[in-house]
């Protein structure tokens, strides 16, 4: 029986695998060859969907960048809701911190798009 991942379009499979590996092992620690091998595809197939590792990193961060829904709750309730959400994430055995902070910590200022995305993400979370 095929895994649920095997039924997804290839681009989605690549991105989901990259997301998991980048988050759990680190962006620098995971090469495109590792991602391709994990899925069972060639690097050429991966590069047909993402022309570079930088493009894959950008897609990974874009996937993680979910805009918060507008809320009509009072600001205090919004803040408390944020802490409830963080508490659930922190309790997860797979929690490895904020993917945006991790990306900036790994890639520093050498990748301006990563830094820009991380700043935009943090600013979007302000109440």
pLDDT at 36: 98
* First CA to last CA distance, the chain: 46
Closest CA to 5 of 44, 27, 35, 50: 35
Kindly give the interhelix angle for 10-25 and 53-64, rounded to the nearest 10 degrees: 80
Tokens read off for 39: 């899925």
pLDDT at 28: 93
Residue 2 has pLDDT above 60, yes or no: no
At the fourth CATH level, the homologous superfamily of domain 4-124 is: Tetracycline Repressor, domain 2 (1.10.357.10)
| Residue ranges in 27-69 assigned as alpha helix (H) | 32-39, 43-49, 53-64
Q: Which helix (H) or strand (E) holds 57?
A: helix 53-64
pTM of the model: 0.73
Dihedrals phi, psi of 87, to nearest 5 degrees: -60, -40
pLDDT tens digit sequence for 18-68: 999 999 999 999 999 999 999 999 999 999 999 999 999 999 998 888 766
pLDDT tens digit sequence for 71-110: 788 888 888 888 888 888 889 888 888 888 888 888 877 7
């Amino acid at each position: 029986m095929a895994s649920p991942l095997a039924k997804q379009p290839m681009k989605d499979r690549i991105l989901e695998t990259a997301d998991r590996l980048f988050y759990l092992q680190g962006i620098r620690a995971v090469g495109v060859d590792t991602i391709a091998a994990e899925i069972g595809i060639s690097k050429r197939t991966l590069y047909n969907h993402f022309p570079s590792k930088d493009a894959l990193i950008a897609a990974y961060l874009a996937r993680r960048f979910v805009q918060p829904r507008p809320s009509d709750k009072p600001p205090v309730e919004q803040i408390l809701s944020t802490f409830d959400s963080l508490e659930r994430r922190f309790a997860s055995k797979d929690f490895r911190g904020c993917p945006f902070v991790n990306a900036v910590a790994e890639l520093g200022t050498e990748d301006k798009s990563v830094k820009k995305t991380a700043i935009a993400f943090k600013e979007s979370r302000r109440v």
